[in-house]
Each structure stands twice: as structure tokens, then as C-alpha cells.
Structure 1
Amino acid sequence: MFILFSLCWWSLTGVFGAETNKIQSVLVMDGDSVTLQTGVTEIQYDDDILWTFGAEKSLIVKISNEKQIFSTFDVPDGRFRDRLKLENQTGSLTITNITTQHAGEYKLEINGAKLTSKTFSVSVYALLPTPNITRDCSSSSSQQNCSLVCSVVNVSHVTLSWYKGNSLLSSISVSDLSISLSLPLEVEYQDKNSYSCVINNPIRNQTTHLNITLLCQPCPDQGLPLFYIVLIPSAAGSLLIVSVVICCICRKCRKTGQENKLREYLSLRHILIQVSF
């Protein structure tokens, strides 16, 4: 009942002479801590401070310096349990081990010598996965090229990009939905340039560097690259020519051997005939 009365009273007093600021955007990674600053160096003796959360303006902090009240409150679903820390000197609020459940608007109201109001829009970004680069054997525009795909799963509010050195080649973005992203790339087998796949959000990025030698191996159902396709028939043709030459030499040798044996036979026969006469 006291909390409800305080909120109603705050709404009425806020009509008169309130000092308001624009909404301040705060970006934070999942699992980190964030401090929302009141902007005062010290709470005055007669200052009363309220922190509220969300569209329902759920009360999460009440400070009455005169009465020495420094209290934090959880919301009905328990998302702030053991996560709210107060700076008693300034009234600043720290949210520890933050998750996407804690994203939203936090409103600060200070009632003292003058009324001060601030609103913080907190955006919480999930941890970034490492981009995964794989060979795509189902797609290739040429036997000279290696088709690759960079992919990430279950992401939101990110951009996935291919870079050649420091130059952006292509990119794709997703906003609210948690989906999988993939981005193709074709390189030549003999390409010596540096390529990398990068995923980033407004706070951080993760990078995977492409190893062409490791990934660009022949696909099982695609055959060999053009270099090998040209080399193998050439080698096979050379081997065939060598085989034919060897075969001819062997046949000639066999033929020569048979002729020599025939000459020896005829010579021996001729000698025997002469002896018999």
C-alpha cells in the first residue's frame, strides 16, 4: 500500500517543475554488469529516489535519505533476484549478471530541491558464436573455383560479413529474430589472399580466418580441379606412348631372336647334308 501511494504521489509531483532528460541508450553483453548513473555526486538530505522498470513502471528501488531507506524490490517473475546493487551515496543502480530478460526501460526520478527524471533504454546482446566456414560441394561456378559458406546459428541483432584483407566483400544482417545466417564465397584454388568471416553486433565481434589449403580439397562427387584434370590425361598419354614403344622393342627383340635361330638351323642342316655326301 505504501509503495502504491508513493508511485501515485510521484506521478502528481512530477507535473510541476520537473527536469527531464532524453532517453539514454545503454548497450551491454549478456552476463556482464551495468551501472545506471543518477548523475549526482551525493544524495541530498531531503532527496527521495525511485527506480522503476518496464512499461508497467514496476518499482525496483526506493531511497529516502532522510528516513535512511535504501531498498530494492524484485518484480513478480523474479528476474531481478540478487541482481540489484545500490550505491547509497549517489543512488546509482547496478544490475549484475544481466540477461536479455533485463532489457527495457529504466526510469529514475529524484524528488528534492528540484525534480529530476531520467530514462535509460537498456539493450542486452547475447554472446557471439564463432563463425563456421565449410566447403560447399553443391555449388561451384567453375572447376577453378572453390565454393565456401560461412554460417552461424541462433543469432539476432548481428551482421555476418566476408572480408578480403580489410576490404568488405559481402554482408548480411538480422535484427529481432533468432535465426541462422549463412554467407557464400568463391575463391580460386591458388588464391594467396587473406580472407576472413566476421560476425559483429554494436558491442563486439568474432572472426574466423579462412585456410584455403585446408578447406579447398576436391569434393567426393565433384571430381578434381581443372589443374588435375589437365595433368592426369597428359600423364596417362605419356605413359601410353612409353608402353607402346616398349612393346614394339620387345616384339622386335623376339622377332630378331627367332630369325637368328632359323639361320642357325639352316646352317647346321647344310653342314649335315655335306657330311653325308
Structure 2
Amino acid sequence: MRQHVVLVTVNIRGKECMCISMTRHWWCSSIWNCALSHELRGPLLEMNGVFGADTDEGVSVSVMEGDSVTLNTDVTEVQKDDQIVWMIGPQEIRIAEIKNQTIDMFESNETFGDRLQMNNQTGSLTIRNIRTEHTGLYMLQIITNKETSRKRFNLTVYAPLHVPVISSNSSNCSSSSLLSVSRCSLLCSVVNVSDVTLSWYKGNSLLSSISVSDLSISLSLPLEVEYQEKNTYSCVHNNPISNQTRHLDISQLCHTCTEKSQRSHHIVSALVVVVVLLLVIRFVYVGVKSCTRSEKRRRLSEESSVSSDK
């Protein structure tokens, strides 16, 4: 197996992190505690930032949308006769170049706006406030008096993750089980997602999961629990470098059959009281209106009698 040393400089929300890869492992500065193995373990591990892996196909780099990433040339200082070229896509469209110690950004503003920057000392390429549309293949070519070398960077930009939503789908209570523990059906959901996994955990143990690679679809994952159990459940929405977790509060979403029956009884009682009050109000209104009409007829009769006497 070949062994390469790869250096990636990452700027995550204003915090700079240097990551070094040797063979299959990555070590990063302790600024954001990202001492990582190439094989990540632990279902609820908090993962945020930029990650990479050196493979025969090039350096794979993953970053969250809105962060900044620097693709390093590993050049200490560009010499007068050196030429460093950055290209994107399989067509190898030139986006930045240093030649004769002069930087040419070509027409990169059409794709990157003002996000792209090339270091005049090292030739490294920085993309600030990166967007998902900047995902793709980046090719580096270095031409010196001694040799010509090329390196590939496979950059993947992931959209920010939303915290999943847990809702109660149904609770099954039969008439013969009003005093028993109800089983509560739950649904964990996320909307407009791509390249993510949605999972249910019981403690740190994975119960179920579903993954999707399509663009902008919704995901839902069911779970059935008992109201009185004391286990902790959580729904995790994650991609390869980040996750969002929603912890389940059973007491809020699930209720025993007895509680449901009592609540239904209270609702019915309240409705009966409202109906009775409406009937009373109606009765009083009709009575008052009837008395008013009788009084009016009496006065008219008296006035008529007085007029006849005259």
C-alpha cells in the first residue's frame, strides 16, 4: 500500500484547523477536537466540519455548506518559473493559475463569485462560504523545472441538516385494556433532504435506519414504544460529516389508555356543560323576548282603550 502525507487546511466558522493524513488516518488540530480515525464509530458522535481521505483516486474532502475549505498544494514557496494550475470537472476547465508569479483567476467569478482565492506564496486554493453546487472534481497541476505533477481533489459539499421531528402517529387502546400500558406508535420525519440517513436509537443501540441519495425528498421512520418504559430513545438525522438529534419525550407524546379515557371523559363533560349553557342562554333570551312582546301588546291595548274613551 502506498503511503502519502496529505495536508488540508480548514476554516470552520472562523476557526482554522490543520488536518494531516498518513495512509488511512486523519489527525486534526485540537481547536475543534477533531482527532479522528478514518473509521468513525459511535452512533451519536457529534461530527461537524471538513473531513478527507487520501485514495488512489485522489483526496476526498467533505465540507458543510457555508464553511470554507483550502485545498493545499504542499508547495512551501512558488518559484519564479513554477506554474500552478487549478481546474474543475472532467473537462478540466481552468479556474486559477500562477505563472511567472502572476495570478490569473480566468472566469471563475461566473461559478464562484468572489468566494475563490489563490495563495500567491503556495498556490493553495481557498473557497469561502462554499455552496452545494461547488461539489465536484478539482484538479491540481504543478509544473516546475524538474517535473510535472498532478493531484485530484474530490470535493463534496453537504447541505445543513435539520433537527428531525417526532410525532405521535397513534396509540392503540382496546376496551378490555383500559388499565394496561398503551403502546405508542411514533414517527420521526425530515423533509427536503438528500444524501442522508435517518435512524432510531435505543440508548446507543441502533434500532432501525433508512437512507436516501435522491434530491429533495421526505423521509419518515416509525417506532413503537410502551408508555411506562424508562429507556431513552432518540432519532438521528445524519450525513457523513454531521448529525442532528431529537430525543424522545415519551410522557409528552404517549399516554396510557386510562389517561386517554379520562381525557375523553373530561372533553365530553366540557361539551355537555357548553351545550347546557347555550340552552339556558337561549331559554332566557326567548323568555325575555316573549315578555317584551307581551308588554308591548299590553301598552298598545291600553293606548287604544284611552283613545276610544275620548
TM-score under structure 1 length normalisation? 0.68
Q: Tell me what 1:108 maps to.
A: 140
- 1:229 and 1:141 mapped to 2: Cα distance? 9
What is the aligned counterpart of 1:26 among 61, 65, 84?
61
Distance verdict in 2 for CA 1:205–1:141, change over 3 Å = farther
Question: Deviations 1:174-217 (Å, cap 9, x if unpaired)?
Answer: 11332100000111111111110001111111000000001114
Task: Give distance in 2, aligned partners of 1:43 and 1:50.
Answer: 12
Residue matched to 2:210? 172
2:123 to 80, 83, 91: 91
Q: Does 1:122 align with 2:122?
A: no
Alpha-carbon shift at residue 228 of structure 1 (Å): 6.8
Unmatched segments (≥5 aa) in structure 2? 1-55, 265-310
C-alpha contact 1:162 1:196 (8 A) present in aligned 2: yes
Task: Give secondary structure in 2 for the equivalent of 1:185.
Answer: strand
> Displacement of 1:55 after TM fit?
2.2
1:153–1:228: structure 2 CA closer, same or farther, 3 Å change rule?
closer
TM alignment of 1:39-58, pairs within 5 A: 39-58=74-93
More relative contact order, 1 or 2 (CA 8 Å, 6+ apart): 1
Q: How many residues align?
A: 202
For structure 1, the 5+ residue unaligned runs are: 1-20, 218-223, 233-277
| Contact 1:107–1:117, Cα closer than 8 Å, also in 2 | yes
CA contact (8 A) 2:96 2:108 kept: no
Q: CA RMSD in A?
A: 2.4
In the alignment, structure 1 residue 148 sits paired with structure 2 residue 186? yes
User: Which one of the candidate residues 148, 168, 171 is aligned to 1:135?
Assistant: 168
Distance 2:260 2:213 in 1: 44
Q: SS where residue 81 of structure 2 aligns?
A: coil
Secondary structure of the corresponding residue to residue 79 of structure 1:
helix
Aligned-residue offset at 1:226: 5.9
Listed one character per residue, the Cα deviations across residues 4-56 of structure 1 (whole Å, up to 9, x for unaligned) are xxxxxxxxxxxxxxxxx741111010111111111221212211111111122
User: Are 1:80 and 2:112 counterparts?
Assistant: yes
1:161–1:141: structure 2 CA closer, same or farther, 3 Å change rule?
A: farther
Contact 1:22/1:118 (<8 A) preserved = no
Consecutive aligned runs of 4 or more in structure 1 exceeding 4 Å deviation: 139-143, 226-230
Q: For residue 89 of structure 1, report the CA deviation from its aligned partner.
A: 1.1
